[in-house]
Amino acid sequence: MMEEIRQATRLDAIEGRFDPWLLGVSIALACFGVVMVASSSIAIGEGLHVGPFYFLEKHLMFLAGGVALAMVAMRTELKFIEKYNQLLLLACFALLLLVFVPGLGVRVNGAKRWVNLVVLRFQVVEAVKVMYIVWLSSYLVRFRDEVNATWGAMLKPLGVAAGMVALLILQPDFGSLSLILAITAGMLILGGVHLPKMAAPVVIGLPILAAIAIAEPYRIRRFTSFWNPWSDPFDSGYQLTNALMAVGRGEFWGVGLGGSVQKLSYLPEAHTDFIMAVIAEELGFFGVCLVVAMYALLAGRAFWVGYKCVEMRRHFAGYIAFGIALWMSLQSFVSIGVNFGLLPTKGLTLPLISSGGSSVLMTCVALGLLLRVSYEYERAQRQVALLRGEAQRVSAGTPPTAQPAPADVAPVRGTSRLRPRIEPTLGVRKGA
């Protein structure tokens, strides 16, 4: 009995490690974003008579808040988060409904996507993305077998996503609803859904989405101008033509940091939605490749961590990593594609690089969760290594206390109040 207590104490004392690749690329993207927001927003601040560094100061303030929230996420046990998954789903719908409450909802450029929190305007869908990924990860853990076998288990998350889509259409926010649907489909596929069954709702849903997309005249203009923006360069094609001119001026090495001409009141939203065009103009093809490489590393490493977690049967952690990887890769792809004329114009920020308080805050929270996943994966690896060592010593007839602790066990720095979930057990039974 005392040996079991000592073993449990040793397991609780083991600490993990945050993945250095994820941490490094997140810091690199954030620092690069600070530089590019400073470069792209000076002329805009002067034009609005708020000072040349107004948007940079706001960006730094939100980034500091995001880092603080990320540190909270990095220190929170995933088991604790998993306990409240149903409340997170309710919070998703509550936040999406808040924008329609008189006095709270704020309409900007014809869209009602923000709530007034006195000190800032918060775009609620950014928080919804994080909470929805956590809920869907928990759902896929609880109904892992049913999702592959039954229609009901597969259709439930699609129904939840459809409910959110309906609220986003009313705002309207076609870009975010497309992103949520794509994340849902991707996580269901990675969660083991039966693909032939999933084909049916996809075939039904795509024509409906197409009909919604062309229901508004401004969306039709966006699609037509996307095919040939030069046919109307001073109206529907204005944003894209100026973005393409910025990309063309950059050539291979760019015109130099701070040397962009298009950001001087020619390119709309140069510090937010079209910041990639400024990067292409100032840093050229080299800068574009650098940004794409950083996002590829972030998404690829997140998928790798998620795969390793699932392989270790830590499915909740693995699905969270998959969801965040899908979010970061899809949103960065759409944002870059819009800037280069590969996709119709849509207002999605470039994660961690574009200026935008809500996006910066919630992206930091998501990356904090991703780092927590990597920490708990590393901790589980060390705990499993300790269990293996104990099992080998017992089978060899050597008392456990006669051997030193394995070299890969982290030094004791305190014990966790939450007992970690060890998966797999590797066949080691209590009292062995």
What is the pLDDT, as a whole number, of residue 110? 75
Alpha helix stretches (DSSP H) within 171-257 = 174-190, 195-213, 217-227, 238-250
Whether 402 has a pLDDT exceeding 80, the answer reads no
Confidence of residue 407 (pLDDT cuts 50, 70, 90): very low
Residue 378 has pLDDT above 60, yes or no: yes
- Secondary structure string (H, E, C) spanning 116-140: ECCCCEEEHHHHHHHHHHHHHHHHH
Express each pLDDT in 160-198 by its tens digit. Answer: 999 999 999 888 888 899 899 999 999 999 988 888 888
Q: Which residue has the higher pLDDT, 342 or 7?
A: 342
> Average model confidence (pLDDT) for the chain?
85
Sheet order of strands, 121-123 included: 105-108, 111-116, 121-123
Q: What is the pLDDT of residue 411?
A: 42
What is the model's pTM?
A: 0.87
Q: Out of 53-67, 148-162, 314-328, which region has the weakest mean confidence (pLDDT)? A: 148-162
Please give the pLDDT value at position 220.
Answer: 76
pLDDT digit string, tens, across residues 275-311? 999 999 999 999 999 999 999 999 999 999 999 999 9
Question: If you average pLDDT over residues 212-234, what whole number do you get?
Answer: 77
**More reliable by pLDDT, 125 or 219:** 125
Residue 405 φ/ψ region, left for φ over 0, alpha for ψ in the -120 to 50 degree band, beta for the rest: beta
Residue from 292, 388, 307, 308 nearest 342 by CA: 292
Map out the domains of the chain as residue ranges: 24-378
Distance CA 66, CA 155 (A): 34
What is the CB-side half-sphere exposure of residue 157 using CA atoms within 13 A? 32
More confident residue, 393 or 162: 162
What string of DSSP letters covers 135-182?
HHHHHHHHTHHHHHH-HHHHHHHHHHHHHHHHHHHHTT-HHHHHHHHH
Q: Quick one: pLDDT at residue 92?
A: 95
Work out the percent of the chain whose per-residue pLDDT is above 90: 56
Written as six digits, the tokens of 262 are 């298009």
The tokens describing 145, both together, are: 């077998």
Q: What is the pLDDT, as a whole number, of residue 230?
A: 86
Mean pLDDT lowest among 42-56, 230-244, 272-286: 230-244
Distance of alpha carbon 375 from alpha carbon 15, whole angstroms: 8
The whole-number average pLDDT for the span 224-231 is 80
Q: Under DSSP, is residue 4 helix (H, G, I), strand (E, B) or coil?
A: helix
Q: Which of 194-198, 258-262, 324-328 has the lowest mean pLDDT?
A: 194-198
Higher local confidence (pLDDT), 220 or 89: 89
> Residue 9: which pLDDT band, with cuts at 50, 70 and 90?
low
**pLDDT at 415 > cutoff 80:** no
Please, how many CA atoms are within 13 Å of residue 359, restricted to the half-sphere of its CB? 22
Q: Which residues contact 57 (CB under 8 A, 6 or more apart)?
A: none
Range of weakest confidence among 113-117, 223-227, 357-361, 426-430: 426-430
> Which tokens is 103 given?
């006095």
Residue 2 above 70 pLDDT?
no
Rounded-to-integer distance, Cα 24 and Cα 327, Å: 19
Q: What is the dihedral of CA 232, 236, 239, 244, to 10 degrees?
A: -40
